[in-house]
Structure 1
Amino acid sequence: MTSSLEVFPGEITHAAIVELAERARGFGADMVVGLGGGKALDTAKGVALKIGARSVSVPTIASNDGPASAAIAIYDEHHIMQDILHLPRNPELVLADTQVIANAPVRFLRAGIGDAISKKFEAEACAAAGATTLLGTPASLTGLMAADACYRIIRQHAVGAVRAVERKQVNEDLEALVEATVLLSTLSFENGGLSLAHALARGFSYLDRARGTLHGDHVAYGLLVQLVMENRSEHFISELCAFYREVGLPTRLAEFGLEQPTAGEIRELAEKSMVSPSAARFAPPVNADQLEVAILKVEAITTAQT
């Protein structure tokens, strides 16, 4: 068996995938192994799709559920999402070494919690709206059950897992959490669907002052906005925010570099979130005006708690 090593160029774009696919094709690769973070793994999946090869994911961080997913998020050079592609099947193998994940900066694990904790509420919203998943199928009972289990595991094990990774250690909490954030989260959104929380994540990518902040953190904040749109009680939202603070997830726009966010920035976040197809997977239908009001309400709730 022979292999060839290629270095991830730094951003997952159509051009990067085409260039790397040409090299892989020239080498005669029949399997593409991605090693690294979410963008590197999605690039490897994109190359595998391009050349018709098998895909393997070896995550070095647990910042999202990309390693196990068939979905491939494509961005431009400014990290604004452009497209979502899909492998014909999920990766053949996901090799997640929890000691490697524990050695990574803890902010990545926190982002993975943020990306996964929304899945229960997004799958339920998708099902209630009669919407379809990214794969074009209705939300299934399997997806809803996986999403519920994912949420329960996160609430039970996330705090202990974060404390372990702060010490660069592996414990039972981390093992359980990684199973939830990498595997169950994938089963949840592929079979249950995405909704407003992920739509807000798309919106964040357009905000200049939020550059460099993580997808999972965007989703975590987006979930708070979705819960406001669902007319959840302030007590429910406040309790979830208390959990966010315990694990280190953001609850205010200020935590994304948006100190004293302008009316224009809040409006842009609302409008750009509507670009995402996930914004349509919610009932009743929402518009940018409603999202803007919901964002302001989240800010009011979370600011009052600090």
Structure 2
Amino acid sequence: MRIFAATSRYVQGAGALDDLGRYCRPLGSHAFVITDADMAKLLGARVTASFETAEMASSLEVFPGEITHAAIAELAGRARDFGADMIVGLGGGKALDTAKGVALKLGARSVSVPTIASNDGPASAAIAVYDEHHIMQDILHLPRNPELVLADTQVIANAPVRFLRAGIGDAISKKFEAEACAAAGATTLLGTPASLTGLMAADACYQIIRQHAVAAVRAVEQKQVNDDLEALVEATVLLSTLSFENGGLSLAHALARGFSYLERARGTLHGDHVAYGLLVQLVMEKRSQDFILELCGFFREVGLPTRLADFGLEQPTATEIRELAEKSMVSPSAARFAPPVDADQLEVAIRQVEAITAAQN
């Protein structure tokens, strides 16, 4: 058996935010919008106006800042009182996952409006729930992907460029992770083998990133939208999701879980963790050093990390490297690799990455 998962409608382009109400109208009449304080001030009026134009009722609510079970429960109560038939997430990953969590709790339709392209969460059915210290507690799943994902590329271009870089890091691994899952005979989050569609999406995602990422980053540094940025956002938001949901996740994302436990890496981004994790995975795959060095060159060109020092871990201790290896094994993604790996092997691979990349600096 194979299962294909995807969002029902994907809308992307500069100025698309002003049409949010029009695209939401087929989904219902009462939109409960969850966002953060900054986005409420910056974009709240445009969002409210778009729903008024579409003759819909809307309520804009600010979430507390961390996606926890308590936050989801509280906002679900407010949404229920409002009579919401759709929950709209507006902002970064935390706001979007909080909105998806509320939609799951209420059985309402889910809409994602990313204001940054830092990861592939907007189009995904997955919901990452953390504790107050941003340690992952649960991965929940909507019964189906968001009904609508709307990405305004001018809004994304106006955001700090480090978020776009992280989105590149989160997406560029998908080709290698999907291929690793297929080679290991592992199942995706849907519980079925990697599909041909997922593998094709993952390969296309990688090719688009390699072709367009450098110019797209330069455009966002100037707060501009160009064809390269449009291509890159489609890869990092849409294709990346198709890749991991229908292809699978492996060691690169396991390493990302491990990073969340490193005190000196606090405040660094998920996509940056995945990018470094990809280098570790490539070492575990026994890829040639030339291949890894070439990819590191690309990472540096777009501003992605290649060393633990790039996360604030100057001269990482043996304890930190061991903790990264051990905590990475907590992730279910660590098991989607053949032959099976353990913390000792990951520790050796991390040290190899540090040695390889140190030679380039």
TM surpasses 0.5: yes
Percentage identity across aligned positions?
92
State which drifts further: 45-54 or 75-84: 75-84
Question: How far 1:265 sits from its partner (Å)?
Answer: 0.2
What is the aligned partner in structure 2 of residue 208 from structure 1?
263
Per-residue Cα deviation, 1:265-306 (whole angstroms, up to 9, x for no partner): 000000000000000000000000000000000000001101
C-alpha distance in 1 between matches for 2:70 and 2:192: 30
What is the aligned partner in structure 2 of residue 6 from structure 1?
61
C-alpha distance in 1 between matches for 2:69 and 2:174: 28
Question: How far 1:4 sits from its partner (Å)?
Answer: 1.4
State which drifts further: 79-88 or 189-198: 79-88
Q: Does 1:196 align with 2:287?
A: no
Question: How far 1:249 sits from its partner (Å)?
Answer: 0.1
Question: How far 1:91 sits from its partner (Å)?
Answer: 0.8
Q: Does 1:302 align with 2:357?
A: yes
Question: How far 1:28 sits from its partner (Å)?
Answer: 1.3
What is the aligned partner in structure 1 of residue 224 from structure 2?
169
Question: How far 1:27 sits from its partner (Å)?
Answer: 1.4
Per-residue Cα deviation, 1:238-280 (whole angstroms, up to 9, x for no partner): 0000000000000000010101100000000000000000000
Question: How far 1:225 sits from its partner (Å)?
Answer: 0.2
Q: CA RMSD in A?
A: 0.6
C-alpha distance in 1 between matches for 2:304 and 2:96: 24
Per-residue Cα deviation, 1:190-217 (whole angstroms, up to 9, x for no partner): 0000000000000000000000000000
C-alpha distance in 2 between matches for 1:101 and 1:144: 27
What is the aligned partner in structure 2 of residue 124 from structure 1?
179
Question: How far 1:24 sits from its partner (Å)?
Answer: 0.8
Per-residue Cα deviation, 1:214-246 (whole angstroms, up to 9, x for no partner): 000000000000000000010000000000000
Q: Secondary structure at the match of 1:145?
A: helix
What is the aligned partner in structure 2 of residue 47 from structure 1?
102
Question: How far 1:25 sits from its partner (Å)?
Answer: 1.1
Q: TM-score, normalised by structure 1?
A: 0.99
What is the aligned partner in structure 2 of residue 136 from structure 1?
191
C-alpha distance in 1 between matches for 2:190 and 2:71: 24
Question: How far 1:22 sits from its partner (Å)?
Answer: 1.1
Question: How far 1:14 sits from its partner (Å)?
Answer: 1.1
Q: Secondary structure at the match of 1:212?
A: coil
Question: How far 1:2 sits from its partner (Å)?
Answer: 1.6
2:331 to 266, 276, 297: 276
Runs of 4+ in 1 over 6 A off after TM superposition: none
The runs of 5 or more residues in structure 2 that have no matched partner are 1-55
Per-residue Cα deviation, 1:21-62 (whole angstroms, up to 9, x for no partner): 111112111100000001110100010000000011111000
The runs of 5 or more residues in structure 1 that have no matched partner are none
Q: Secondary structure at the match of 1:188?
A: helix
What is the aligned partner in structure 2 of residue 24 from structure 1?
79
Alignment length (residue pairs) = 306
